[in-house]
A and B are shown apart, each in its own frame.
Chain A
Amino acid sequence: MSDDHDHHDGNDDHELRVSKIRDGTVIDHVRGGQALNVLAILGIDGTNGEEVSVGMNVPSNRFARKDIVKVEGRELSQDEVDVLSLIAPDATINIVRDYDVVEKHRVERPDVVEGVLSCPNAGCITTGDEPVTSRFSVLEDGVRCSYCETIVRDEIASLIDT
């Protein structure tokens, strides 16, 4: 786990990190310790050769510590990043082209997330061998399985289907 742009020089660390990517997406202001979960939710594990940089628990103005994830060569869509709101509600998304940030937006809570989380209820039909994609509706303070209706409020990251 390394970040070749790590500069612990205070206010500008965020800008420096962003500016060093050529084309792709920077996910910033991820809660400290959640970067690997961000990658897991996005289904990025490096096996497809993506160039990915991860900074964990780096100093931040907004939080004491934050994580940052940079994915070179891939622009993540709003739908793709909105699911991150479940574990990184304060994340900001920067789309970078030719070293410039061309779009900057926040993650928004989606109404439904599909195929990302797995239901923790062993009695749920989705936990067997059925050909069904998991589906959770997003509540104000948690998620709810659309099949067995189990509500999960804490430890949502532990449900990420890896």
Chain B
Amino acid sequence: MRHDHLITSKQLSRGDIETVLDYAAEIDADPSAVADRHTDTLLGLLFFEPSTRTKMSFETAMKRLGGDVVDMGSVDSSSVKKGETLADTVRVIEGYADGLVLRHPKQGAATMASEFVDVPLVNAGDGAGHHPTQTMLDLYTIRENAGLDDLTIGIMGDLKYGRTVHSLAYALTNFDAQQHFISPESLQLPREVVYDLHQQQDGTGIKEHDSLEEVLPSLDVLYVTRIQRERFPDENEYQKVAGEYQIDAETLEAASDDLTVMHPLPRVDEIAPEIDETHHAAYFEQAHNGVPVRMALLDLLLSDDRGIRGETDE
């Protein structure tokens, strides 16, 4: 397997992460300097699940590097509908494009797809698995606002199905970060993820909680995720649980004045709109960071003269 696919944040060392974040900062400061680095490059977008910001930010990033995209379109209008396998689809699109971005509802889809192609493949979400480019923009935002070392972060909401959470948690084990995971019992981190976190960081930096209250005052960053209705058998149960993991201005009275609030978006009602105007809110900045961070990643993956040498865990 080539080492220039980006499948999971687990494959990235601290050095790899810092290379990407430093380069993203460079691009952010002067995007015009890289505007024609990829004038002949075509990026293939294969989104087997709906996506707005991830897809648009990849498209924007590629175009801002001077390249263009070819888009498979929605699954409904593609040959997938006729029963084509993912292995066949990626092998066909590989012939059209210089790199592939894949989002797929099945876990492990990106790992499998990468075994069938020679062009760099970026995982843009595989079921409840991984979402490493979201992680990179999350890390970028954390670094800008709070720093990545000597960090105390609370990650709250749906930790079971939230792939952004899993990817972020793995990546943070590379840093001096205390991670507090806050969720209802039914949506705790999968045991697989806990196993890996303990393998990577001996477990001392990881604690699980069912309430925000006890940890909120100690947090530098609070990363909120959406609890989805469909995870619960009935509406009552959902309302009861979800309500305990929403924050508003009153909640934040107990927080540090320096607290940074993040969210991968879209949000529904986990973060009250009144927080948007406070200095705590970093979620729109976080979304905007998707472009420079993905520009940095794409340039590093698609260029012959630069490259990240992340080892996969294979």
For the complex, what is the distance from the CA of A150 to the CA of B191, rounded to whole Å?
A: 9
Please give me the residue from chain A that is nearest to B86 by CB atom: A130
Given contacts A126-B112, A146-B314, contact A121 B85 (CB under 8 A): no
Given contacts A126-B112, A147-B112, A151-B192, contact A131 B87 (CB under 8 A): yes
Please give me the residue from chain A that is nearest to B84 by CB atom: A129
B109: CB under 8 A from chain A?
yes
* A-contact 0/1 string along B188-218, CB 8 Å cutoff: 0001100110000000000000000000000
Contact indicator B129/A149 (Cβ below 8 Å): yes
A145 contacts which of B108, B115, B128 (Cβ < 8 Å)? B108
Contact indicator B192/A132 (Cβ below 8 Å): no
B256: CB under 8 A from chain A?
no
- Residues of A within 8 Å of B126, CB to CB, are 125
Contact indicator A147/B192 (Cβ below 8 Å): no
**A-contacting residues, B71-126, CB 8 Å:** 83, 85-87, 104-109, 111-112, 115, 126
Please give me the residue from chain B that is nearest to A139 by CB atom: B195
The smallest C-beta distance from A55 to any residue of chain B, in angstroms, reads: 38
- Residues of B within 8 Å of A130, CB to CB, are 85-87, 112
The smallest C-beta distance from A142 to any residue of chain B, in angstroms, reads: 10
* A-contact 0/1 string along B289-314, CB 8 Å cutoff: 00000000000000000000000001
**B-contacting residues, A97-150, CB 8 Å:** 121, 123-132, 144-150
- Residues of B within 8 Å of A131, CB to CB, are 85, 87
For the complex, what is the distance from the CA of A146 to the CA of B10, rounded to whole Å?
A: 13
- Residues of B within 8 Å of A150, CB to CB, are 107, 192
Given contacts A131-B85, A132-B87, A146-B314, contact A125 B108 (CB under 8 A): yes
The smallest C-beta distance from B103 to any residue of chain A, in angstroms, reads: 13
The smallest C-beta distance from B134 to any residue of chain A, in angstroms, reads: 18
Contact indicator B85/A148 (Cβ below 8 Å): no
Contact indicator A128/B192 (Cβ below 8 Å): no
Count how many chain B residues have C-beta atoms less than 8 Å from C-beta atoms of the other chain.
22
B147: CB under 8 A from chain A?
no
- Residues of B within 8 Å of A124, CB to CB, are 106-108
For the complex, what is the distance from the CA of A144 to the CA of B86, rounded to whole Å?
A: 22
The smallest C-beta distance from A51 to any residue of chain B, in angstroms, reads: 39
Contact indicator B112/A149 (Cβ below 8 Å): no
- Residues of A within 8 Å of B86, CB to CB, are 125, 128, 130
Q: Which of B112, B128, B314 has the most CB of A within 10 A?
A: B112
- Residues of A within 8 Å of B104, CB to CB, are 125
B184: CB under 8 A from chain A?
no
The smallest C-beta distance from A124 to any residue of chain B, in angstroms, reads: 5
- Residues of A within 8 Å of B192, CB to CB, are 144, 149-151
For the complex, what is the distance from the CA of A9 to the CA of B57, rounded to whole Å?
A: 75
A129 contacts which of B85, B128, B196, B314 (Cβ < 8 Å)? B85
Contact indicator B314/A125 (Cβ below 8 Å): no
For the complex, what is the distance from the CA of A150 to the CA of B129, rounded to whole Å?
A: 10
The smallest C-beta distance from A118 to any residue of chain B, in angstroms, reads: 13
Contact indicator A125/B107 (Cβ below 8 Å): yes
For the complex, what is the distance from the CA of A149 to the CA of B314, rounded to whole Å?
A: 12
B66: CB under 8 A from chain A?
no
Residues of A within 8 A of B (CB): 121, 123-132, 144-151
Residues of B within 8 A of A (CB): 83, 85-87, 104-109, 111-112, 115, 126-129, 191-192, 195-196, 314
Known contacts A124-B106, A131-B85, A149-B196; 9 further A-B pairs (Cβ under 8 A): A123-B106, A125-B106, A125-B111, A126-B108, A128-B85, A132-B87, A147-B111, A149-B129, A149-B192
16 contacts between A and B (CB under 8 A): A123-B107, A123-B128, A124-B106, A124-B108, A125-B107, A129-B83, A130-B85, A130-B86, A130-B87, A131-B85, A132-B87, A132-B115, A148-B107, A149-B192, A149-B196, A151-B195
